[in-house]
Amino acid sequence: MLLTLSVWIQNLSFFVYLRSSAYLYPVILALHLSAISLFGGMVVFTDLSLLGWTPRQISAPAVIDSLRVPKRVGFLVAATLGFLLFSCKAEQYYYNVYFRAKLLLFAFVAVHALVFRNRVYNRPGELMPAGAPNAQVRFAALLSLLLWAGILTAGRAIGYVLAPRGLHFL
């Protein structure tokens, strides 16, 4: 069923047009990577602040509060551009083991958010009374950095898998 859906998506006229354009596809890819750079900085800075690995001119609670909404906007932009890239070659991505790994890691990021949002990210002030992160805060931040590094690696590796033969491109 997912495969049928993938073939249907990639053969919508909009995505056939995107795929066949010499410039549009690379432009979307470039914007995807640019959005990742802007969004990634916010994620990394939040986690570095939680870990106490910055000179701490700005406290972790202030960083978390201020970057919460921009991080969501950045993720939405990067994910939308990523969806456009996926949809151009949905069937090929369906078979791509690194794409599957990337989706699995996104699921782990969602679990990370469910577990740590209320425990860490929504009340960092209580967990870091003297500015020193406790074990739970450090674990949450390190795990977040590792998950996002994994997503970045899987994303890069997607492009190195050869497309299987017999794809249903229009």
Q: Which residues of 124-137 are buried (b: 16+ CB within 10 A; e: fewer)?
A: beebbeeeebeeeb
Only segment of 4-12, 37-45, 83-91, 102-110 that touches other proteins (CB under 8 A):
37-45
40 binding other proteins? (CB under 8 A): yes
Count of residues in contact with other proteins, rule CB under 8 A: 36
- Integer Cα distance of 9 and 169 in angstroms: 10
- Of the residues 7, 19, 45, 95, which one makes contact with other proteins according to CB under 8 A: 45
- Integer Cα distance of 66 and 88 in angstroms: 35
29 binding other proteins? (CB under 8 A): yes
**How would you class 111 by CB atoms within 10 Å of its CB: exposed for 0-12, middle for 13-18, buried for 19 or more?**
exposed
- Of the residues 54, 80, 118, 136, which one makes contact with other proteins according to CB under 8 A: 54
Phi then psi for residue 23, to 5 deg, are -110, -35
Which residues lie near other proteins (CB under 8 A)? 22-23, 26-27, 29-31, 33-34, 36-42, 44-45, 48-49, 54-58, 62-63, 66-67, 70, 149, 152-153, 156-157, 160
